[in-house]
Each structure stands twice: as structure tokens, then as C-alpha cells.
Chains A and B, each alone.
Chain A
Amino acid sequence: MSGEEPERPDTPSLEKRVTQPGRHVGDRYVRIMRPTGSGIKGHGGRYVATEQTMDRTGRVGHAWDGAVRFLIGKRLHSDAESEERVSVATGLPILASDNISSSAYATEEAMRILAIAGTAALALTMPIALAVVFVLAIVILSESRVIRAYPNGGGSYLVARENHGVIAGLVAASALLIDYVLTVAVSTAAGVAAISSFFPELHTQRVAVGVVLIAVLAIANLRGVREAGLLFAAPTYAYMLAMYGLLAFGLFRIFAGDVPAPVAPPDPFLPEGTAALSILLVLRAFASGSVGLTGSEAVANGVPSFRRPEARNAVITLVLMGTIFATIFLGVTYLATRIGIQPDQSEIETVNSMITRAVVGTGTPFYYFVQITTAVILLLAANTGFTGFPRLASVLANDRFMPRHFADVGSRMAFNTGIVVLSVLAAVILAAFGGSVNALVPLYTIGVFLAFTLSQSGLVRRWRRLRNPGWRLSIVINSFGAVVTGTVLIVVAVTKFALGAWMVMILIPVIVALLYAINRHYQTTQDALVLSGPEQRVPVYAAPVVIVPIARLDRAALQSLAFARSVSPTVKAVHVSTSRASADEFRARWNRLDTDVALDVVESPFRSLVQPLLRYIDAIDKSDDRPITVVLSEFVPRHWWEWFLHSQTAFRLKAALLFRPNTIVIDVPYHYQDTADLARR
């Protein structure tokens, strides 16, 4: 009811005002009566549900609330949204940890491919690393344009949708969704690999450890973006400290003429190699090294997570991220090639671990510091997936391409559905690939380069259309970005196709079709539900025909009959009986009842109750134009486990009638009361 319309005196209201006369003339006063403890505040038809309304009742409810609050923290008020935003210092670990952490394994991934052609081919690692950094510089320059053009976030999906059309947008979104899931799986697997480098016993349990770590990350993210950022800030900066310390010490030793002796891997590749060095192999190594570019799109997608000015803070974070990645990646690659480190074929020890052992010695505190911080940042890199996937899913849900639950904001301002779905998918993929980084990486880079290419080319079209000041330079930058990322995409797709990239190439169109189908469903539903004009009258219906199925004449049945009579004057009770004798007995009992409700008894010699009742309702529906309302009486026992002791016919009928058109089903629950209670009433 709108605030202007006077309420009918019998309309239920949260607030009653009773004027009392007082003892003297002029002493009248108004008593404002409100139910206490409801947790709903406000007056005059405008109310606000306080946090108290969120509290569950009962012992189980209290225990559940307690457990949830312990795990994910206190509920946050909607006004706290701005406080949940991040600065550059906290945004860097949240959104850039994926890209920065890639420096822990990008060198190794390139070396692993080159080593197939023998140890001599490892000399090509540095040129490949330089090529990767060059592509990264192009990507960062182009992504900063994306941020300026779309300061409200949305990233590649929004850019592609606006400039290339819906399908291209969905392709970019699908590619990114896949990429985010793989980010979590790959980063977790790489984190576990870093731990198993100094705890080899964990190698056999890597899937279980990975799944536990994904669960921990999910809980941290359910606590909210800012808290996750604060939690992850220290390890990210610790990793940077460890790596820059390692690089500084390693370079110092090399330039001082004390080149560290190489550490042999536990399971080395054959020195002469198993394949010839070919252009394709070099391209494969470049494609594997390009894994270091993943995560650079997260900043552009997460612009709204930043404090004001969002776009400026995002660009600063993006540039910082690129600089940090590039210096660590090039430094590690230089040390690996200069020292002569070879990758480990069985993935027991990482290249970074061997470099650290060579530079600072095995078992030194600094070695453990580097390994632990590497393991932690690789896990935090998974957090980029947790930041990106739920946000992109919420954008897609708001555009009605994904189920609406993905747009729901949880009690800590996080997109809970996205976080939970991402965790489950990542855990399943991790388990399916046995927790191997090497097996997962080929799937990884396709999505991100596809999204990059679509967004870069989308921006080119945008600049051509808008022709803003400086549009020519922007076109040159983004065209170059599109060509470079498109080339990398083709290289990755071709070289990794047989290794698993084919799965992503099949999955992307499947997800696009799924998103499109979801959108079609929402469109048709909206068309069916939308009001045709701004001013609508509430239709007035004739009183319905009410059918009350009655199994037994008891208190629950009388309650549902009484309710049915209050709804309509046309009420029909129906009893399905399994034999003539029980039908006669029921009618005899009914005749003794003081009621004007007519009764039909349906005999069911095949003992089925639900089907004859449904056919009876069909027959009544055909014979009468008025809408059918079925009033079901449902006995509710005192404890949940007592449900199994009752036949739940009402429940089965409800389920059967749920999809019957033009049928209103009203459930009248009859809660268990002991006989002492009834006697008192």
C-alpha cells in the first residue's frame, strides 16, 4: 500500500497508534504500540530490517549463525560498500598477484619445452623471455586504454560486447570465466609444487592439499574483498622482497666473478634431447612462457574495486604489476641461463628452487624464505581468480546471461555464489588433472589471449566510432595490441592444441551457447511477466472454486475446510477411498459433521491416491470456468525426523500440482500440539 493511501482499520500494521484520553482536558496522549524484538524499525509504512532480523531462531539456527560468522565474519551494512574498496597498496596483492606470481613458473614453463631439444636449446630462454615481456608491455599499454575507456569495469567482456556485439562479448566472457577457473587450479597446483620442492612427501598428496588450499581461499574471499586484500598483502610484498633479494645477491655474485655452481635436478631431461629444435618448438616455448601474461586482465576487470579515482588507481596498479613481473621474470631467466639450471622432468623441484639453492645454498634460512613466499604467492595468485570470476559472473548475471544468484551480494559484500561455484569447479579440475601444473598450463593461456584480442580490436572500433582527441594514437596502440595478442593466441592454440587446448576451444562455444540460452529464457520470462503500461489496475477475480482433498476427518482437515470457506463460498471436499466400505464409512462420518460443504468420494480400487485426485481436479476444471484452488491440509510434526513416519500425501500432491496451469495451491499447515495444549485451548 502506498504511503498516501489511508489504511483500512483492519489492515495489519507493524505500528498501532491508540489515543488515550488522559485524566484532564488537554492531557490526551498517543500510545505507539509496536511488536518488540522483531528487528524491524521505521514508521508510517516505511520500515528498515535491522541486523537482528537476520538472526536465525532455534538451537540449530543459532549454531549455524555462529559457525558462519566465525568463518566469514560479521555482516556488513550496505553503506560499508565504499569502505570495502581497495587502495593501490592493497589492490596490488589482490588483483596483480596472479601476474606477479607467474614469474615463479613462467621461466620454467619455457625451459621445459626447450629442454625437449636438449640442454643447448635452453640458451633460447632469454630471447623468449624478452619477447614475452615485449608482449606484456603492449598488453599493459592497451589495457590502460581499456581502463580509461571503461572506468566502471567489465573488462574484455564489456568492450567486446559494446563494440563487436553480444556473441563476441560472450566469447570473451566465456574465455575469461574458463581462465579464472584455471587460474585457481594452476596457481594452487604451482603453490603445492613449490611446497613439495622442500617437502617431497607432499608430492603424492598434492591434490588433497590443493583442494584444502582452495577451500581456505574461498573462505577468505567470502569474508570480503578488503579483508582478503589485507590478509594477502604481506605475503605478496614478502615474495617481492625475497625475489629481489635473490636476484640482487645472484647478480652480485655473477658480476663479482663468483658464478654459482648449477644444482642438478632430481630427474633431468636428456642432454641431447628427444626432438630436434624447430620453429614450432620455439613457438611452443614462447606460448608456454606467455603464461606469464595471464592475470594482467584482472586489473581492468576489477576497476570498481578501487578507491576513487578508480581509473587512475587501476592504471597505477597495472603499471606496477607489469614492472614487478618483468623485472623478476627477466632476472630469474637470466640467473637460470647464466648459472646453467635445467628443469626437472618429473616436476618434483622447481627451477626457482634450484636457482635459490645454487645462489644461497641448500637449507639456508633464505632458501626457505624464498620457497615459502613463492608457495604463498602462488596460492594468492589463485585469489585473482576469486576476485575476477565472481565479479564477471555478477556482470553477466546483471545482463541476464548467468543465473541471478551470481549477482547477489553476500553478508560481507562478496559475490558468494560466484566464489563457491569457482571453488568447486577449480577443485574438480585440479583433481581431474592430478594436480599437475604441466598438464594444466596448456589449457590456461588460450582464454586470456582470446579475451585480449577481442577487447583490443573492440577498442579499435570504438576509437574509430567516437574519434575522441588522440584517437589516432589509440588506434595504433590497440591495433598493434590486437595483432600481437592475436598472433600469440594463434601460436598458443596451434602449439598446445594436442596438449589440451582443444578442450578450451570446445568449451568456449559450449559456454557461449549456454549463456545465450540463459539470456533467451530470461527474455521470454520477462516478456511474459512485464506490465504493458505504466498505469495498471489490479484485476478483480471471481471467487474461485476451492477443492479440499481430505484423507481423514481430523483437526487438520477441519482447519483446512474452515480456511477454504473463508476464501470462497464454493468449496468442494473430496475423499479418495481405496474400498467401497471405507468410502461408506467416510460419508457416514461426514454426514455427522456440521457443515454446508459438499463432499465427493472417489473410489480407487487400484489403491492410488494422487492420480485419481489429479484426474478429479482436471474434470472439475473442465466443467467450471472459474479458477481452481486446491487447499491442502498438511500435518507438520514436532521434529524433522518425524517427517519420515508420515505419508506426506499433501507434499506429493503439491509437487504434482506445481506445474498444473491455472491452479492455485494453498498449503494449510497443521502444527503438532500435544493434547494438554489442546485441552487448555
Chain B
Amino acid sequence: MQPKRILVALAGSSADPDVIRLVAWIAKPAKAEVVGIHVIEVRWNLPLDAVMEPELDRGEELLESAKKVADQAGLDLETELLQARDAAAAIVDTAVERKCDLIVVAMPYRKRLGRVYVGRTVQNVYVNAPCAVLAYRQEETK
């Protein structure tokens, strides 16, 4: 598979730099366009377009950091900040709107009740995305 447009969802976790390097490794030979998005989830008691300054600042910072990692990896990364009720739906909808053929999501290694925990967003993207989805799980922390 040679993806032409890749969407990479960034949550600000420690897995973000790894997943950007992975995407660079996939995108560069295929000369694919890459867009990195971060979705701020808005609680139902707030309007959808509420200005949530700490979350916006954090989102901008993590997208800036992602751009720096992408620059170091030789990848031209376009970034976008979104606000939505459900991050997974916004990721999938953005991928559809931008005609992406691959969504890459990252999972930091974490456990709940003795089992590796995937998380709601990654699961929902997996289930609902019409295109290919690549989930990168960080290695087990020693």
C-alpha cells in the first residue's frame, strides 16, 4: 500500500514523537501528504466553540513540538487543531473530508486491570474509519 494522504492523530502523549517518525518513514518514499491533528474534547456543559485557553495552549504546544520532530525527520507536517464532543468522530470525519487513505493513531503503553488498555478514541477510530488505520502502541516501559 502506498498512501497518498496520511492523517496522524496526536494526543500529546509520550508516543507522539515515535509515531511522527514512523509516519515520516512511511510517507517519505510514497511522497504522501501528512496532516497532524489534535482534538480538544469539549464537555457537554460547554458550547462546542467555547474558548478553552489551557487546552488550546496545550494543543498548540504539542502541535508545535510535533512539527519540530517532523522537521528533524525531514517530514513536511501540516497541523490542525480541532474542538469536538468526541475525538474519534472528529478524527474520522477529518480523514474523510481530507480524503486520507491512512489514519495513524498512537497509544502509550498503559495497563488497566492487568491488561493493556487501548482507550476509547483508538477503538472508535478503528471501528468507524472508512480508510486504513494504523495504531502504534509504544513499547512496554521497563
Instruction: Identify the A interface with B (CB < 8 A).
Output: 17, 19-20, 22-24, 26-34, 36, 41, 43-44
Contact = CB atoms under 8 A, between A and B. Distances in A.
Contact of A43 (B48, B53, B85): B53
A52 to B, nearest CB: 9
A31 B39 CA distance: 9
B48 A19 contact: yes
27 contacts: A17-B49, A17-B83, A19-B49, A20-B93, A23-B93, A23-B96, A24-B89, A27-B84, A27-B85, A28-B85, A29-B48, A29-B83, A29-B84, A29-B93, A29-B94, A30-B49, A30-B83, A30-B84, A31-B82, A32-B56, A32-B81, A32-B83, A33-B80, A34-B81, A41-B57, A44-B51, A44-B53
Given A31-B82, A34-B60, A43-B53, 15 more contacts: A23-B89, A23-B92, A23-B96, A27-B84, A29-B89, A29-B90, A30-B49, A30-B82, A30-B84, A31-B81, A32-B81, A32-B83, A33-B80, A34-B81, A43-B56
Interface string B42-71: 000000110101001100100000010000
A22 B93 contact: yes
A17 B52 CA distance: 13
Nearest to A45: B51
Contacts of B79: 36
B139 interface: no
Q: Which 6 A-B pairs rank lowest in CB-CB distance, beginning with the nearest? A: A29-B84, A29-B90, A30-B83, A27-B89, A32-B81, A44-B51
Contact of B86 (A17, A27, A36, A44): A27
A30 B53 CA distance: 15
Contact of B80 (A19, A31, A41, A44): A31
A27 B92 CA distance: 10
A24 B88 CA distance: 12
Interface of B: 39, 48-49, 51, 53, 56-57, 60, 67, 79-86, 89-90, 92-94, 96-97
Counting chain A CB atoms within 10 Å of each CB, which of B49, B53, B94 scores highest? B49
Contacts of B96: 23
A43 B89 CA distance: 24
A19 B48 CA distance: 9
A18 to B, nearest CB: 10
Contacts of B84: 22, 27-30
Contact of B60 (A28, A30, A33, A41): A41
A114 to B, nearest CB: 70
A134 B48 CA distance: 76
B83 A22 contact: no
Nearest to B85: A26
A30 B51 contact: no
A578 B53 CA distance: 63
A670 to B, nearest CB: 32
Nearest to B42: A30
Given A17-B49, A41-B60, A22 B82 contact: no
B82 A29 contact: yes
A19 B93 CA distance: 12
A22 B93 CA distance: 6
B97 A20 contact: yes
A19 B85 CA distance: 12
Contact of B82 (A32, A34, A43): A32
A27 B79 CA distance: 21
A19 to B, nearest CB: 7
A216 B79 CA distance: 46
A27 B93 contact: yes
Contacts of B56: 32, 43
A564 to B, nearest CB: 39
Nearest to A24: B89
A43 B39 CA distance: 16
A219 B96 CA distance: 57
A475 B26 CA distance: 83
Contacts of B83: 17, 29-30, 32
A33 B94 CA distance: 14
Contacts of B90: 22, 27, 29
A60 B30 CA distance: 37
Nearest to B86: A27
A397 B136 CA distance: 60
B26 to A, nearest CB: 23
A44 B48 CA distance: 15
A408 B82 CA distance: 40
Contact of B89 (A19, A22, A31, A36): A22
- Chain B CB within 10 Å, residue with most, of A17, A30, A34: A30
